[in-house]
Amino acid sequence: MKRVVVTGLGAMTPLGNTVDSFWQDILAGKSGVGPITKFDTEKFKTHFAAEVKDFNPEEFLEKKEARKFDTFTQYAILSSDQAIKDSGLDFTAMNDEQLADVGVIWATGNGGISTFEQQLEEFHKGDGTARFSPFFIPKMIVDIAAGAISIRHKLRGPNYCTVSACASSNTAIISAFDTIRLGKANVMIAGGSEAAITKSSVGGFNASQALSKRNDDPQGASRPFDKTRDGFVMGEGAGALVLEDLEHALNRGAHIYAEIVGGGMAADAYHLTGTPPDGIGAALGMTKALKDAGISADKIDYINAHATSTGLGDLSELNAIKTVFDGLPVVIGATKSMTGHLLGAAGAVESLISILAIRDGIIPPTINTKNLDENIPKGLNIVLGEPVKKEINYVLNNTFGFGGHVASTIFKKYTD
């Protein structure tokens, strides 16, 4: 099968609207969390989230065009534009046959939930007449970001959306990886976006007891593995990757960030929202990713853990890591402590972190964790407080979603 490399990156996050600014803040251990500004939170249990800052869609889209898209699609367009520019690909110079070998697989967990919420509010405030925007459906449906990216760049290759809750964008990346290595495309734009900081999302997650309610300390609220953790912090944004057939990349002299070598997907088959204490599904996903990459567990240098800062979820993942990597010196980090949980976009944004960690030989810190939960399995190496310099050849990136979805990817330092 063909080898697949990463040649472009794009980011739209609570810590920066470019890859460079995002990465600098990650290494500095900054938090992107603050008070919610999108709606009045007085009647809600949680008053904070990790919002994207200083975002104006009209800086990169015409006003009339921007109004056609929900925010999650705007994030997708901007981050994918960045990744395409970074890759050096010029789609305007390609003919129809070449464009047929370039595709898009884009993920989201919630799609245009803010559009859905807004349209229903306007309907119920009206006189009962069914007045809806003609853009209501195309702004709301989850596949529209993938379609918008392909339309923008005239890309006629495989095009669809993956939805597996918080594992969505890792699933998209694995699917794009498989598409290229099976020879069904030369280039794939893959990633995910989310813009779900809305009344219904915050209210719903509050009702399920999933969100932190540490309103007196928002920036310290996401504290993975800490014995005082009380839930995740919702985030928003997007991450985009350009994946490319190695031969195609070499022929055009592309800069190569890393190689993607394995993807493992599995299921907990346990509970709608909970994870099994032993982490059997997560362990299976990681084991499948290792098998797919053709490497043993001792090759992994760094695990970017899913680690959302929920009581049961964190322990379940660490038990799974203990099962797969017991006795090995792999370093574990939890970057959601800084970004919050970007839901369907989490896997893509954390893939950027994984790739940049390989490039720079540095493992980002886990912030806010002061007192490790005494129930954490012994012998695990969790990086806390400060980044760690380390030669990194392989990174494993974990994501898990409501419904028991598991997706793990493995990135490798590229060597010719």
Q: If we measure between CA atoms, which residue out of 32, 68, 70 comes closest to residue 51?
A: 32
Across residues 283-306, what is the average pLDDT? 98
Domains of the chain: 4-251 (3.40.47.10), 262-412 (3.40.47.10)
* Contact by Cβ (8 Å): 191, 106: yes
Q: What is the DSSP letter of 298?
A: G
Backbone angles phi, psi at 89, to 5 degrees: -75, 140
Partnered with residue 91 across adjacent β-strands are none
Q: What is the pLDDT of residues 212-232, one digit of tens each?
A: 999 999 999 999 999 999 999
Q: What is the DSSP string of 22-46?
A: HHHHHHTT----EE--SS--TTSS-
Q: Are 84 and 189 in contact (CB under 8 A)?
A: yes
> In degrees rounded to 5, what are phi and psi of residue 282?
-60, -40
Residue 340: which of 125, 60, 42, 53 has the closest Cα? 53
Strand segments (E) across 301-366: 302-304, 331-333, 362-363
Classify residue 376 by burial, with Cβ atoms within 10 Å: 0-12, 13-18, 19+. Answer: middle
Return the number of other C-beta atoms located less than 10 Å from residue 234's C-beta: 27
Place of tokens 């030369």: 186
Count of residues in the chain: 416
Report pLDDT for 416. Answer: 83
Phi-psi region of 129 (alpha: psi -120 to 50; beta: other; left: phi over 0): beta
- Asked if pLDDT for residue 129 goes beyond 80, the answer is no
C-beta separation of 17 from 55 below 8 A: yes
Q: Is the pLDDT of residue 402 over 90?
A: yes
Q: Per-residue pLDDT averaged across 378-387, rounded? A: 95
Please report, for residues 79, 88, 98, 184, the alpha-carbon distance to residue 93 in angstroms, rounded to integers and kept in the order given: 21, 12, 10, 21
Q: Is residue 164 within 8 Å of residue 78, measured between CB atoms? A: no
Q: What is the pLDDT of residue 126?
A: 74
Count CB atoms within 10 A of the CB of residue 141: 18
Task: List, in sequence order, every beta strand (DSSP E) within 334-403.
Answer: 362-363, 381-382, 388-389, 394-401
Sign, CA dihedral 314-319-325-331, equals positive
User: How far is the C-alpha of 282 from the C-alpha of 401, rounded, in Å?
Assistant: 11
CA 46-207-209 angle, to 5 degrees, is 75
Q: How many Cβ atoms sit within 10 Å of the Cβ of residue 109?
A: 27
**Chain segment 326-340, per-residue pLDDT in tens:** 999 999 999 999 999
Region 102-126 average pLDDT: 93
Is the per-residue pLDDT at 20 higher than 80? yes
Identify the three-state secondary structure at position 231: coil
Greater confidence (344 vs 124) lies with: 344
Write out the E strands in 60-213. Answer: 102-107, 159-162, 187-194
Q: What is the pLDDT at residue 124? A: 84
End-to-end CA distance of the chain: 16
pLDDT tens digits, 176-206: 999 999 999 999 999 999 999 999 999 999 9
CA–CA gap between residue 297 and residue 289 (Å, rounded):
10
Residue 141's pLDDT band (boundaries 50, 70, 90)? very high
Instruction: Write down the pLDDT at residue 123.
Output: 86
Share of the chain above pLDDT 70, in %: 100
Which residues are marked as active site? 166
What percent of the chain is modeled with pLDDT above 90?
A: 96
- Label residue 233 by pLDDT band (50, 70, 90): very high
pTM more than 0.95 = yes
Distance between CA atoms of residues 329 and 310, nearest Å: 25
Q: Do residues 331 and 303 lie in contact, with contact meaning Cβ atoms separated by under 8 Å? A: yes
The DSSP result for 169-194, as a single string, is HHHHHHHHHHHHHTTS-SEEEEEEEE
Mean pLDDT of the chain: 97
CB atoms closer than 10 angstroms to residue 269: 11
- 54: which DSSP letter? S
Which residues have CB under 8 Å from 167's CB, separation 6+? Answer: 347, 399, 400, 401, 405, 406, 407
**Residue 209 pLDDT:** 94
Q: Tokens representing 378?
A: 């012994």
